[in-house]
Amino acid sequence: MKTFIIRNIDERLFKEIKKQAKINSTSMNKFILSIIETDFGFTKKIKKPKKYTDLDNLFSKWSKEDYNLISKNINEQRKIDHELWK
């Protein structure tokens, strides 16, 4: 394995690389190496599934009454109005 150094990296670029490496749960070195390998066609680009956390605060918070009310409303909206489809 060979090693090289990249000098004079703009501060904004450095911060973005650091942020993206953290998002991808990898080191900055591995992140940069994967970008270079992908760009040169040495590896296939692998997309990680995006993790969504926007509804986590609702998880296991509904009471049985809340669940029944929401389920009832959803089921009513799923009914087909045959008069509209004539």
**If phi over 0 gives left and psi between -120 and 50 gives alpha, with beta otherwise, what is residue 45?**
beta
| Average pLDDT of the segment spanning 57-75 | 85
The whole-number pLDDT of residue 11 equals: 96
Single-letter amino acid code for the residue at 79? K
The reported pLDDT for the residue numbered 36 is 92
What is the per-residue pLDDT for 28?
Answer: 94
pLDDT tens for 7-48 read: 999 999 999 999 999 998 999 999 999 999 988 988 766 677
Q: How is the chain split into domains, by residue range?
A: 11-46+55-77
The structure tokens listed for 16 are 């973005």
What crossing angle do the helices spanning 28-39 and 11-23 adopt, rounded to 10°? 90
Q: Which two tokens stand for residue 18?
A: 């650091």
Q: What pLDDT score was predicted for residue 48?
A: 73
Look at 46 and 50; give whichever has higher pLDDT: 50
